[in-house]
Structure 1
Amino acid sequence: MRSVAPVNQTRAVELDSVTKHYSHGVTALDDVTIGFAAGTFTAVMGPSGSGKSTMLQCAAGLDRPSSGRVIVDGRDLARLGERKLTLLRRDRIGFVFQSFNLLPSLTAEQNVALPLRLAGRRPDRDLVRQSLEAVGLGGRAGHRPTELSGGQQQRIAIARALVTRPAVLFADEPTGALDANTSRDVLRLLRTLVDRQAQTIVMVTHDPVAASYADRVVFLADGRVYGELHDPTAELVSTRMLQLEASC
């Protein structure tokens, strides 16, 4: 059963009138206002060039908007200097990408502990093991990436993103490099993290099947929000995407 967000549930992430201009005259985001409730799973979709990745980057503090506000875990990113913003990203924001970005010389356990070491913290082995258990790979702690399948490597990347107990996990095409069966395994894992641990997840994807695992799908086109879909199915998402692409 999917999580159901109460009407007044706290928002883990808020974008308020966010606009992003680039120097070559392109407006990637145009006055976007949207919120992502804590403990929910949102997929972000849209045609190529719609602003999906730019929205994720601004929401995650990887890029600063030209105007508007971004609030993550109750903190206005515009009020943070670079050092404090870096600390917020490190401690309260998790990232998962299409490429796994694991260090081949390190074991799964060492890869998961890496964010803690980079933060100057002594890794809590129990916490690292709990993160591995959460993604179903507690028995693979001593394996290196070359000894793991693609799906297992992405699970390790997710465990690494979870080890700091982030307020929100941003995923950019997390199943893009995986086959259909492995993709479903990873998507079921993300769904379970939301349902059992109340993890907030915002996922950019082009795949209607991937989007169907979310509680809500937000559609972008030309840098603007063009509606959303709750309790999505792959068929409904596909239909909405065809309509959106035909109108652009």
Structure 2
Amino acid sequence: MRSNAIELRGVSRTFGSGDGQVTALDDVSLAFEQGTFTAVMGPSGSGKSTLLQCAAGLDRPASGSVRIGGTELTTLTERRLTLLRRARVGFVFQAFNLLPSLTAEQNVALPLRLAGRRVPKSEVRAALARVGLTARARHRPGELSGGQQQRVALARALVTRPEVLFADEPTGALDSRTGRDVLALLRAMVDTEGRTIAMVTHDPVAASCADRVVFLVDGRVHGELTGAPAAGIAARMTTLKAVPC
């Protein structure tokens, strides 16, 4: 039986106060088994990105418990939380977040440097090779296509060998062919290396690459699908977005 790589229990998160208070997450309990790929979907404003940020330790919930590999995040100091993220968590975002003045290999090496670790060039080159960018190691982001930049971001996430990878709309800024390539890389990380991936997406095709799809509505879990095709996921999304006239 697989253990849980990520576990949220009774997690709530609000923003603002008084009449302007908004509930982004409302008593969410959710587990992500080790070595699985989960997509999180829902209408705009449903709390998807907030869920990812709380699960990754980038944001603190107002209440509830968040665990990564059995470690409780909500009681950690900011310093210990930062160290845990550097050692055990990888991130890939739609915006790539590459430093424009650094080459691809320098961007990939950055998490290791920030962690105070020695940066063997062989490890950096191996990470770039995994995403098919060996020949682009010395190119800066401005010299790379959007798909290539996203693959550099993936290599940067992989170089620390994280237990868990969080991806927020990783294909949102890519064309369909490049998006498929990135999704194939994510799928391979789960199937061949046993990584755990939690991905927020609005795209049913992207979500169909996951083992399961969890749906959020108004900050609450609203069911899930396992092994569903893109058409089935799209149909479920349509019911979630339906608003009575």
**How does the TM-score come out when normalised to structure 1?**
0.93
Counterpart in the other structure of 2:2:
9
Cα distance between partner residues in 2 of 1:186 and 1:97: 12
Counterpart in the other structure of 1:5:
none
Report the alpha carbon displacement of residue 11 of structure 1 after superposing the two structures with TM.
1.0
Report the alpha carbon displacement of residue 143 of structure 1 after superposing the two structures with TM.
2.2
Quick check: 1:166 aligned with 2:162?
Answer: yes
Cα distance between partner residues in 2 of 1:54 and 1:236: 25
Report the alpha carbon displacement of residue 47 of structure 1 after superposing the two structures with TM.
0.3
Counterpart in the other structure of 2:183:
187
Counterpart in the other structure of 2:16:
23
**How does the TM-score come out when normalised to structure 2?**
0.95
Range that drifts further, 49-58 or 122-131: 122-131
Cα distance between partner residues in 2 of 1:134 and 1:201: 17
Report the alpha carbon displacement of residue 247 of structure 1 after superposing the two structures with TM.
5.8
Quick check: 1:92 aligned with 2:94?
Answer: no
Equivalences for residues 90-169 of structure 1 within 5 A: 90-169=86-165
Cα distance between partner residues in 1 of 2:74 and 2:164: 18
Q: Matched residue of 2:74: which SS?
A: helix
Cα distance between partner residues in 2 of 1:193 and 1:136: 14
Report the alpha carbon displacement of residue 147 of structure 1 after superposing the two structures with TM.
2.5
Counterpart in the other structure of 1:75:
71
Residue 5 of structure 2 aligns to which amino acid in structure 1?
Answer: A
Report the alpha carbon displacement of residue 105 of structure 1 after superposing the two structures with TM.
2.2
Cα distance between partner residues in 2 of 1:244 and 1:168: 28
Cα distance between partner residues in 2 of 1:173 and 1:138: 25
Counterpart in the other structure of 2:204:
208
Equivalences for residues 21-60 of structure 1 within 5 A: 21-24=14-17, 25-60=21-56
Q: Matched residue of 1:127: which SS?
A: helix
Q: Matched residue of 1:30: which SS?
A: strand
Cα distance between partner residues in 1 of 2:219 and 2:142: 39
Deviation readout 1:98-130 (Å, 9 max, x if unpaired): 111112222211110011111222212222122
- The correspondence for 2:215, drawn from 197, 216, 219, is 219
Residue 66 of structure 2 aligns to which amino acid in structure 1?
Answer: V
User: What percentage of residue pairs aligned between the two structures are identical?
Assistant: 68
Report the alpha carbon displacement of residue 220 of structure 1 after superposing the two structures with TM.
0.3
Cα distance between partner residues in 2 of 1:65 and 1:102: 28
Cα distance between partner residues in 2 of 1:121 and 1:61: 22
Cα distance between partner residues in 2 of 1:144 and 1:181: 23
Is contact 1:41-1:191 (8 Å) kept? yes
Residue 22 of structure 1 aligns to which amino acid in structure 2?
Answer: F
Is contact 1:73-1:92 (8 Å) kept? no
Structure 2 residue ranges without an equivalent (≥5): none
Q: Matched residue of 1:90: which SS?
A: helix
Cα distance between partner residues in 2 of 1:120 and 1:140: 25
Change (3 A) 1:247 1:38: farther
Q: Matched residue of 1:219: which SS?
A: strand
Is contact 1:44-1:218 (8 Å) kept? yes
Residue 171 of structure 1 aligns to which amino acid in structure 2?
Answer: A
